[in-house]
């Protein structure tokens, strides 16, 4: 079992991003996905900056993947994605079919992120023919659903050809829109957003009128109100055939969590991580994504 | 432009055909289509009858098999595609790559449309679907501005269909899990958003109404407000820890207000830029709704065709459509992007 750090989904100040990845370089995380995937207006780091971080992490022994924008609306965004897909140095994670198109046309192998809709092995087969090496299970699928997909993959003789990753920790990106909700709740238009999302590095929590935590606003993205945490399932995942667990950072706490998990994996021991009030176990146990279900590892 | 109208049942199909639809889209009675509601949609037999009625009136029939095939129920999607091919429907509307591959290999003659649930918003994504599955049309997600649609028509390898009227998704379709986050069911997996089985309407002591989805309070309405269906993106919530550190004490429509999309006055621009078809949303709506919306749009499209240089939406059309809109409000949605 490997650990993957997903791309930072929030808009963090430039220096904070560099500081964060310097710490990641010294962490036990195996793989790191890099790049802006949420909003194309966030350009504090340019392509060259991301490459510099990618090389720093590679030198520290990490496997680095460049991750692409999720929702594309304009031709300039398409060019941004194309530039990343044309790079010869790092593997790319496609978060939209446009990236799959560019990468497959280049003859490059690629990974897919959680926003690519892969709900069955027949879809995996199509993407495998185009160069897919590793995929991330869509967030809304459970352990049981993953089991069915992998069973179907075996029937299609795909199991030893493709690696599977499961989003296992962090706030889940649930929806993407043309409009910016962080700007909206701060009474700003998207074009005059003043990059207000930089002032809320963990997004804007949204609660019901009864005070129940529901969603988190992160620019054009609506995320889960609770941080999902299924790290204690790592042994069950390994048994099922999962190759990597994805951690998504909302703060530097991800470093401690990653190092703890890696230690457990290396020692072949259960990882005890009890859910706090702000956490849920996502869709892994089935049912709704916001549930808190306790089950012994 | 082709007028594509919804039909959740046979009376709605007749209503659409009788009032001037060029094409009608339907779904089968299970989670293979994105409007999987109790009592709605077509059995094989009903679909055959629908096809006859449409064909006798020179109207095309599309079948939407546009959810994502669940691995443990794969045969259900296969069966639906087989049934669609047996019907000799005018087109299959699909979103799942596995389903499209199956349709394209087994029934190469069956025209394939990429559903809005396929989330293709750019030329490269459209090119991929065209190259892999030979799609001949794509329905665009409701996230693009008019200018962006125009730029895309020029680059697109396939015909483009856009949403013209109806309930408004503000999230990119096929990429919204809000519903399953709260209820366990989403458009992708179950063909339902904010499913009716999870909805509770609670009368309050002051004569108002609370609406809940799987127990979660979506909105509170006072006695003099019209209570709306508890769709997650249209609820009133409180934003906390905002940029200036405050908490919004007042609950607001943080994501979207209850409103419907209406693009009637964009007919000239959409037509000029080369859009092939306009789609009316609403397979979950009544036959009377389908009849009224179809009639207005038919009249408007015909009026435009008769006098292209001097098209003005008539007031009575707009009044009729407003009456049929959520919260009696309409918007141009992303096409105008007032929030930009």
Instruction: Give residue-wise pLDDT tens across range A118-177.
Output: 999 999 999 999 999 999 999 999 999 999 999 999 999 998 999 999 999 999 999 999
Q: Is the pLDDT of residue B339 over 60?
A: no
Give the gap in angstroms from C-alpha B249 to the nearest C-alpha of chain A.
Answer: 9
The residue behind tokens 């879809």 is A123
The Cα B213–Cα B64 span in angstroms is 27
SS3 A57: helix
Q: Which residues contact A153 (CB under 8 A, 6 or more apart)?
A: A121, A124, A159, A162
Q: Is the pLDDT of residue B340 over 50?
A: no
Give the gap in angstroms from C-alpha A122 to the nearest C-alpha of chain B.
Answer: 4
Chain A residues near residue B140 by CB distance under 8 angstroms: none
Instruction: Compare all CA atoms of chain A with the CA of B186 and give the residue at the minimum distance.
Output: A140
Instruction: Compare all CA atoms of chain B with the CA of A215 and give the residue at the minimum distance.
Output: B178
pLDDT digits (tens, 9 = 90+) for A261-272: 999 999 999 998
Is B68 within 8 Å of A120 when comparing Cβ atoms?
Answer: yes
pLDDT for residue A189: 77
Q: Which helix (H) or strand (E) holds A106?
A: helix A97-106
The Cα A116–Cα A69 span in angstroms is 12
Q: Is the pLDDT of residue A296 over 60?
A: no
pLDDT for residue B243: 64
Instruction: Compare all CA atoms of chain A with the CA of B97 and give the residue at the minimum distance.
Output: A123
Q: Are residues A93 and A109 in contact, defined by beta-carbon separation less than 8 angstroms?
A: no
Alpha helices (H) in B97-198, listed in sequence order: 97-106, 123-133, 146-155, 178-183, 187-190
Q: Mean pLDDT in chain B?
A: 93
Query: How does strand B91-94 pair with strand B112-114?
Result: parallel
Chain B residues near residue A78 by CB distance under 8 angstroms: 122-124
Cα B241 to Cα A199, B59, B87: the distances in Å are 10, 54, 55
Average pLDDT over residues A95-123: 98
Instruction: Compare all CA atoms of chain B with the CA of A217 and give the residue at the minimum distance.
Output: B239
Is A214 within 8 Å of B119 when comparing Cβ atoms?
Answer: no
Average pLDDT over residues A212-217: 96
B98, B142, B216: residue with CB nearest A122: B98
A74, A152, A186: residue with CB nearest B242: A186
DSSP letters, A140-164, are T--HHHHHHHHHHHHHTT-TTT-EE
Average pLDDT over residues A214-235: 96
* Count of CB pairs separated by less than 8 Å, A with B: 241
Record the tokens describing residue A23, joined without a space.
Answer: 């710490």
Q: Which helix (H) or strand (E) holds A207?
A: strand A204-207
Average pLDDT over residues A34-40: 97
pLDDT digits (tens, 9 = 90+) for B118-132: 999 999 999 999 999
DSSP letters, A254-269, are HHHHHHHHHHHHHHT-
Site from B106, B124, B240 to mutate, A interface, most A CB atoms within 10 angstroms: B124
The Cα A137–Cα A118 span in angstroms is 7
The Cα A185–Cα B255 span in angstroms is 8
Dihedral angle, C-alpha A100, B187, B130, B71, nearest 10 °: 70
Chain A residues near residue B145 by CB distance under 8 angstroms: 73, 178
Instruction: Compare all CA atoms of chain B with the CA of A81 and give the residue at the minimum distance.
Output: B124
Q: Rounded to a whole number, what is the largest CA-CA distance in chain B?
A: 64
Give the gap in angstroms from C-alpha B321 to the nearest C-alpha of chain A.
Answer: 24
A77, A121, A209: residue with CB nearest B238: A209
The Cα A6–Cα A65 span in angstroms is 9
The Cα B329–Cα A174 span in angstroms is 27
Q: Is the pLDDT of residue A116 over 70?
A: yes
- Known binding residues of B for [4Fe-4S] cluster are 169, 176, 193, 233
The Cα B278–Cα B5 span in angstroms is 9
Chain B residues near residue A208 by CB distance under 8 angstroms: 216-218, 235, 237-238
SS3 A229: strand
Q: Which residues contact A264 (CB under 8 A, 6 or more apart)?
A: A234, A270, A271
Is B255 within 8 Å of A77 when comparing Cβ atoms?
Answer: no
pLDDT for residue A268: 95
The Cα B241–Cα B68 span in angstroms is 36
Is A73 within 8 Å of B148 when comparing Cβ atoms?
Answer: yes
Q: What's the angle, vertex CA A108, arms to CA A105 and CA A110, rounded to 5?
A: 110
Q: Mean pLDDT in chain A?
A: 95
Task: Count CB atoms within 10 A of the CB of residue B259.
Answer: 19
Q: Are residues A84 and A73 in contact, defined by beta-carbon separation less than 8 angstroms?
A: no
DSSP letters, A71-85, are S--SHHHHHHHHHHH
Instruction: Compare all CA atoms of chain A with the CA of B339 and give the residue at the minimum distance.
Output: A189
Q: Is the pLDDT of residue B293 over 90?
A: yes
Is A119 within 8 Å of B71 when comparing Cβ atoms?
Answer: yes
B97, B124, B244: residue with CB nearest A123: B97
Q: What's the angle, vertex CA B218, arms to CA B214 and CA B224, rounded to 5?
A: 130
Chain B residues near residue A97 by CB distance under 8 angstroms: 119-120, 124-125, 128-129
Q: Which of B10, B46, B12 is nearest to B287 (CA)?
A: B12
Given pLDDT bands bounded at 50, 70 and 90, which one contains residue A276?
A: confident
Is A179 within 8 Å of B170 when comparing Cβ atoms?
Answer: yes
SS3 B172: strand
Query: How does strand A163-177 pair with strand A221-229?
Result: antiparallel
Q: Are residues A252 and A23 in contact, defined by beta-carbon separation less than 8 angstroms?
A: yes
Is B97 within 8 Å of A122 when comparing Cβ atoms?
Answer: yes
Q: Are residues B60 and B161 in contact, defined by beta-carbon separation less than 8 angstroms?
A: no
Instruction: Compare all CA atoms of chain A with the CA of B127 and give the residue at the minimum distance.
Output: A101
Given pLDDT bands bounded at 50, 70 and 90, which one contains residue B334?
A: confident
Helix axes A97-106, A121-130, angle to 10 degrees: 40
Is A140 within 8 Å of B70 when comparing Cβ atoms?
Answer: no
Distance of CA A295 to the CA centre of its chain: 24
Average pLDDT over residues A82-108: 98
The Cα B85–Cα B99 span in angstroms is 13
- Give this complex's ipTM: 0.96
pLDDT digits (tens, 9 = 90+) for B57-95: 999 999 999 999 999 999 999 999 999 999 999 999 999
The Cα B91–Cα B68 span in angstroms is 18
A120, A176, A288: residue with CB nearest B171: A176
Is B70 within 8 Å of A70 when comparing Cβ atoms?
Answer: no
Beta bridge mates, A65? A33, A91
Chain A residues near residue B255 by CB distance under 8 angstroms: 177, 181, 184, 222
Cα A293 to Cα A143, A152, A239, A267: the distances in Å are 13, 27, 21, 26
Q: Is the pLDDT of residue B333 over 70?
A: yes
DSSP letters, B213-280, are ETTEEEEEE-TTSPPPP--GGGS-BEE-S-TTS----S-B-SS--S-EEE-GGGHHHHHHHT--EEEE
A78, A119, A148: residue with CB nearest B122: A78
Give the gap in angstroms from C-alpha B58 to the nearest C-alpha of chain A.
Answer: 35
Is A100 within 8 Å of B128 when comparing Cβ atoms?
Answer: yes
């Amino acid at each position: 079992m490997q650990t993957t750090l997903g791309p930072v989904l929030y808009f963090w100040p430039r220096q904070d991003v560099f500081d964060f990845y310097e710490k990641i370089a010294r962490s036990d995380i195996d793989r790191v996905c890099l790049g802006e995937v949420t909003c194309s207006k966030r350009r504090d780091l340019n392509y060259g900056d991301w490459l510099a971080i990618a090389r720093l992490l590679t030198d520290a022994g990490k496997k680095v993947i460049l991750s692409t924008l999720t929702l594309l609306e304009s031709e300039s965004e398409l060019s941004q994605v194309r530039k990343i897909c044309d790079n010869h140095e790092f593997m790319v994670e496609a978060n939209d079919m446009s990236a799959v198109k560019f990468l497959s046309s280049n003859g490059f192998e690629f990974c897919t992120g959680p926003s690519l809709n892969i709900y069955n092995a027949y879809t995996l087969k199509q993407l495998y023919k185009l160069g897919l090496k590793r995929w991330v299970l869509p967030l809304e699928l459970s352990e049981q659903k993953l089991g069915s997909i992998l069973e179907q993959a075996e029937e299609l003789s795909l199991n030893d050809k493709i690696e599977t990753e499961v989003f296992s920790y962090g706030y889940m990106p649930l929806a993407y829109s043309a409009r910016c909700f962080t700007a909206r709740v701060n009474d700003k238009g998207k074009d005059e957003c003043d990059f207000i999302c930089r002032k809320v590095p963990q997004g804007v929590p949204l609660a019901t009128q009864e005070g129940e935590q529901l969603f988190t606003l992160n620019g054009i993205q609506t995320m889960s109100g609770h941080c999902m945490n299924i790290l204690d399932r790592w042994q069950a995942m390994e048994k099922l055939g999962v190759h990597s667990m994805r951690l998504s950072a909302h703060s530097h706490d991800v470093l401690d969590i990653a190092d703890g998990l890696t230690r457990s994996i290396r020692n072949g021991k259960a990882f005890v991580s009890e859910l706090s009030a702000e956490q849920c176990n996502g869709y892994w146990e089935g049912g709704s994504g916001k549930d808190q279900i306790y089950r012994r590892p | 432009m082709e007028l594509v109208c919804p039909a959740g049942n046979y009376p709605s199909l007749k209503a659409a055909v009788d009032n001037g639809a060029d094409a009608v889209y339907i779904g089968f009675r299970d989670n293979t289509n994105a409007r999987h509601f109790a009592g709605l949609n077509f059995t094989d037999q009903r679909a055959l009858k629908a096809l006859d009625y449409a064909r006798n009136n020179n109207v095309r029939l599309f079948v939407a098999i546009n959810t994502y095939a669940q691995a443990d129920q794969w045969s259900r999607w296969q069966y639906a595609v087989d049934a669609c091919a047996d019907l000799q429907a005018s087109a299959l509307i699909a979103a799942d790559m596995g389903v499209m591959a199956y349709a394209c290999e087994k029934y190469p003659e069956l025209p394939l449309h990429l559903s809005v649930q396929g989330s293709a918003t750019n030329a490269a994504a459209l090119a991929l679907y065209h190259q892999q599955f030979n799609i001949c049309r794509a329905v665009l997600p409701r996230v693009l501005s008019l200018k962006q649609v125009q730029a895309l028509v020029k680059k697109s390898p396939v015909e483009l269909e856009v949403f013209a009227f109806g309930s408004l998704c503000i999230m990119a379709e096929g990429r919204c899990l809000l519903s399953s986050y709260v209820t366990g069911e989403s458009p992708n997996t179950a063909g339902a958003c904010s499913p009716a089985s999870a909805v509770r309407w609670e009368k309050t002591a002051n004569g108002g109404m609370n609406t809940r989805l799987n127990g979660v309070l979506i909105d509170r309405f006072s006695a003099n407000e019209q209570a709306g269906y508890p769709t997650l993106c249209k609820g009133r919530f409180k934003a906390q820890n905002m940029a200036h550190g405050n908490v919004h004490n007042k609950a607001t429509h943080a994501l979207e207000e209850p409103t419907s999309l209406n693009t009637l006055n964009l007919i000239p621009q959409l037509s000029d830029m080369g859009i092939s078809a306009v789609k009316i949303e609403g397979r979950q709506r009544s036959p009377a709704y389908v009849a009224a919306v179809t009639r207005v749009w038919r009249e408007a499209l015909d009026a435009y065709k008769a006098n292209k240089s001097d098209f003005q939406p008539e007031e009575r059309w707009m009044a009729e459509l407003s009456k049929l809109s959520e919260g009696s409000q309409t918007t141009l949605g992303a096409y105008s992007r007032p929030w930009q």
